[in-house]
Structure 1
Amino acid sequence: MNVFSDRSRIIITCNKRLTPYLELEVTELGFTLTRTFQTGVELEGTMADCIRLNLNLRCASQVHYSLKEFRAEHPEELYNVLVRMPWENILNNTSYISVTCTVDQLTVNNEMFVNVKVKDAIVDKLRRETSVRPNSGPDLTGAVIHLYWKDDRAEIFIDTSGETLAKHGYRKIPGKAPMLEALAASTVMATKWDRQSPFINPMCGSGTVAIEAALLATNRRPGLYRTNYSFMHLKDYDEQVYLAEMQRLRDQIKEVPGLLVEATDISDDAINISKVNAGIAGVENMIHFKRCDFALTDVPEGKEGVVYFNPEYGERLGDVKQLEETYARMGDFLKQKCKGYTGYIFTGNLDLAKKIGLKARRRIEFYNAKIDCRLLEYELYSGSKDKDRREKVSQE
């Protein structure tokens, strides 16, 4: 078994409701999907493909490379299958090894027990074949093995990512209740933004949405901000494959003349944090940061860009009664200052959304952690567009 040359099943996972955007990313990279499901996609490929996927994907969580699928009805049977696998051909005996599990099995009431069984099988085989016991633990900083076990079906994978890909590596200061980077990227992808016209982001918080917009526009990929993956700790890892993909990432960065990404927040701390994060991402000079109330955000006239709000919605931050006034003001801002633009408000509180006073053209479903959210889209017609729309309706 040589995982760097053998083709196998690859499962790419993501958070719920991000699959359409992950699917788009993977197919744009030239891969053919064999299956999509609620929390990910499936394809076939090599470890070199896994390296490319890890470095390029914005919406993914993990990239899993399948080693073996088998039947197991109890933990001892699981151990007996895994201890016979050729781990000495896959892992270095000097590697730090971690195990993760997804278990839905009647004989198991403690997932950690299964985790230990998998780890014991791997370590026992490596010690038998190499006379060295590798170090193991919970930190996902070395080689990571993942077990999926449901009913009597088990499958063992190399988690080629290690730490989740959903965090893109540039956000060293998170700020208050930050949006996960993979979610932020997916919501920007869900908008009608052409990645050239203005992107206006009032209430920017720690700057994640504005930064992800700038990264998308200039084709900067998450792999640029990360230096450690699980695949680097496998036996026969060829660093040249990784370095070649990294060079490809650098070469495909593009300039967008005149790009305007506007990010404002009433908090000095939020603006300072946003600037630090944007600097780490290499896009600080592409984003115009300003401390002000959102109603004072500059929106260039005569343009057809995007205005994107990610306000508090009463689940973790903010008092709902006070937020009712804020949402009403957001609606006034969109109606009065953003004509010709497409407006978006990301919220987990549809009762508050009613205070906006505009009818959403689309309601795009997302989750923010476990909170059921919507990205609400508003078509903000300019005077001439509104007149044309009324005339069209009257003719019909």
Structure 2
Amino acid sequence: MTAWLISAFLLFPLRSIQPKRPTALVTIPEKASTDNPLKTSVDLLVEEAAQHFMATPQSVGLSIGIIKDGQPYVYNYGTVEKGRQQLPTSQTVYPIASITKTFTGALLAQAVVEKKVKLGDDIRKYLTGNYSNLTYEGQSIRLFHLINHRSGLPFLLPDRPDAFANTAIPSSTIAAELLQGYTRDDFYADLHKVKLDTMPGYTFRYSNTGAQLLGYILERVYNMPFDELVRLKITQPLAMSHTKIELTSSDQATFAKGYNCNGVEMPPIPDQLQGAAALKSTVTDMLKYIQWNVAEETEAAKLTHQPTSGDVSRYSSGLNWQMLNVAGNRAIWQDGNIPGFSSLCVNYPELNMGIVVLSNECDRMSASRVTTLTNQIAKAIDDRAVVLPN
């Protein structure tokens, strides 16, 4: 299975939507409430795609951000909480799940630019104790392997593949339960038990463990907590004041509630996932992040988009970004799915365009639906936009 078939934070099997046969009585869903002004061509094309997305019964709320040629557009639909009918806003806070990994990749790139590390460093250089188990046939895991999913490390620590055998429960929900009360000491104890069964750098294997470990390593390199590193190196320079792991009381007041496909509110995810999936953000903040990526004006931004594996002329992986190149136009994206929330961020540097979608509902089809929505909007704005795989 190629890498782009993997749903971002926690794997959900992707299945095609089969149309239902018409019945004698057809219920036409009401349009979702929105702040879309319906004045420009962009407004109108977003309205069509978003209302189609919201027509799915399990949909709750939706925030869409677009930046094209430096012009930002923000649209909100639905509600931040079932039963309240309160529209999301540009300042509504959502977990961004695996999009967090791209921030971790950006921090690694910055550390390389500052000559604090090298992408090809053996990770054991930054670990305390004997980790001879983190080699295979004499080949060690390199720093960039931790963020392009070719480290050979397991999907999650604790490594409990048996816990994911029940396919009726989303893997993200199972993972959240496994992580309750799981400490950093537990993580390192389990890391000592890992046995690699493949050469690092060759086989794609989606790993939250790798990104989490990279976050811990960067903390050691800078002698600074991960959340503070994100603030100092990324969010403060980009004026992204609402992007963080630990939320203040004012942040909590604007935090959307997340729901599963049955409308059940999901509990918060454990923050110890840290560099793998713990950041929260707003659509406005994410547009600033997109602009930084689209512009590619800094060495760190450029480095995060440099392929570390795959076919440069088609599909490749950067520092956690997935990348497609079609006729010289690139789509650089990452999605994220955790209990109650689905998200996607995509950059089109050659088109000077980017899109972010944040939703407070997550089921086994959410990743596919968010991707479809994003593709519809991107192609309608600029037909040169590369279609993301679904």
Same fold per superposition (TM over 0.5): no
How high is the TM-score relative to the length of structure 1? 0.24
Larger radius of gyration: 1
Structure with the greater relative contact order (CA < 8 A, sep ≥ 6): 1 or 2? 2
Which structure's residues are more often strand, by fraction? 1
How high is the TM-score relative to the length of structure 2? 0.25
